[in-house]
Amino acid sequence: MVRPKLLAPGGSLEMARQAFLNGADSVYVGAKGWSRRTAEYELEDVEIEAIVELASSMGKGVRVALNTLFSSQELSLFIEKLKRFESMGVEGVILTDPGVMALSKELCPDLEVHVSAGANAINNEDLFFYREIGVDMVVAPCNITVEELAQMKRTVNVGLEVFLHSNTCFTYLGKCLMSSYFRYSSHIDEYGKDHYWGSPNRGGYCHRVCKARWNLEDAEAEMKNEMFLALDDLPAYVEAGVDCLKIQGREYNPRLIGEIVALYSQIVDSLQDGSFYHRLDFFRDRVEELSLRRDRERNRRTSRVLEEAERDLEVASVA
């Protein structure tokens, strides 16, 4: 049984260090203005370079998320970023736009290209397409079942990555525009990159309005957006030949990420040596404990971004 790689978030140098020390093979970072997170959880190029140097000293890897969508006017900025990260020694980039993926393989053929979950590769034909343009890895959306993943892996010879730690959006990631309706404004940074608040696809962030209480004809409703730490599906993932297991969470504190990485490193080891089911009760207790801590952190942030969206609505209604 081939051991899948373990990928962790690198929201800061300290988070990357905690991830590497606790068993991650690689971390992913977000380039400021170019990934699906707010600027406070993205990194300047010099910060990314420091993480690449740390990774190199430990025999680890770094991937850079450039997974927003951008206009033709911003393409030259992207190419500069791409070549800069290649010269730093990053192992790969995470992208959403198919045209940019093909261009990246043409300009920097030794740089791995990973299809972001936001691209919604949800069936065999999607995977065949991405393989044809030269991508190395496809990140599967959380909505895809283990059975679907196994069938896709059997059918298409391309790397496949799944989330161990994320949340299940009520729709496919990258397809929801609800946040944009609540908060839609933009600004151009000093480099010429446009940022659209309320749109993760364009360098802003999601206000998670699906988590608000919705009043539908006098009945309250809540849309599906559940958080999870995977456990029971892990043997099936490994058996299916999944190539990479991804932990989400650039916005959490480094210590929590380190503990989550350590747990999953132990679980992957147990799947390799056959002790997984003997240790399952311990793993369940540990997952539950970490889930509660993770949920508290995420819920605090959800409350904050919902308040921001509500304030914008109030200002707009007054205007």
On the question of pLDDT at 163 being above 80, the answer is: yes
Q: Residue 288 half-sphere exposure, CB side, CA atoms within 13 Å?
A: 6
Per-residue model confidence (pLDDT) at position 315: 47
Residue with the larger pLDDT of the pair 110 and 308:
110
Contact between 89 and 112 (Cβ < 8 Å): no
Per-residue model confidence (pLDDT) at position 189: 72
Of 44-53, 67-76, 199-208, 285-294, where does mean pLDDT reach its minimum?
199-208
Residue labelled with tokens 């380039």? 31
Residue with the larger pLDDT of the pair 144 and 188:
144
On the question of pLDDT at 155 being above 70, the answer is: yes
Per-residue model confidence (pLDDT) at position 294: 85
Give the C-alpha separation, 53 to 49, whole Å: 6
Residue with the larger pLDDT of the pair 251 and 216:
251
CA angle 275, 9, 281 (to 5 degrees): 25
Per-residue model confidence (pLDDT) at position 72: 86
Mean pLDDT of 46-55: 98
Mean pLDDT of 178-199: 66
**Comparing C-alpha atoms, which of 318, 149, 109, 122 is closest to residue 239?**
149
3-state SS string for the chain: CCCCEEEEECCCHHHHHHHHHCCCCEEEEEECCCCCCCHHHCECHHHHHHHHHHHHHCCCEEEEECCCCCCHHHHHHHHHHHHHHHHHCCCEEEECCHHHHHHHHHHCCCCEEEECHHHCCCCHHHHHHHHHCCCCEEECCCCCCHHHHHHHHHHCCCEEEEEEEEEEECCCCCCCCHHHHHCCEEEECCCCCEEEECCHHHCCCCCCHHHCCEEECCEEECCCEEEEECCCCHHHHHHHCCCEEEECCCCCCHHHHHHHHHHHHHHHHHHHHCCCHHHHHHHHHHHHHHHHHHHHHHHHHHHHHHHHHHHHHHHHHHC
Contact between 36 and 95 (Cβ < 8 Å): no
Per-residue model confidence (pLDDT) at position 212: 65
Strand 159-169 relative to strand 244-247, pairing? parallel
On the question of pLDDT at 225 being above 60, the answer is: no
Residue with the larger pLDDT of the pair 144 and 165:
144
Sign of CA dihedral 180, 185, 188, 189: negative
Mean pLDDT of 255-269: 96
Per-residue model confidence (pLDDT) at position 196: 63
Mean pLDDT of 293-310: 72
Mean pLDDT of 267-275: 95
Per-residue model confidence (pLDDT) at position 251: 86
Whole-number mean pLDDT of the chain? 85
Structure tokens at 170: 């009520």
Tens-digit pLDDT profile for residues 51-103: 999 999 999 999 999 998 888 888 999 999 999 999 999 999 999 999 999 99
Which domains, from first to last, does the chain contain?
5-177+225-274 (3.20.20.70)
Contact between 19 and 261 (Cβ < 8 Å): yes
Contact between 79 and 104 (Cβ < 8 Å): no
Q: What is the pTM of this model?
A: 0.83
Percent of the chain with pLDDT over 90: 57
Contact between 72 and 97 (Cβ < 8 Å): no
Mean pLDDT of 161-174: 72
Mean pLDDT of 180-207: 65
On the question of pLDDT at 313 being above 80, the answer is: no
Q: What is the C-alpha R_g of the chain?
A: 19
On the question of pLDDT at 191 being above 60, the answer is: yes
Per-residue model confidence (pLDDT) at position 104: 97
Per-residue model confidence (pLDDT) at position 237: 93
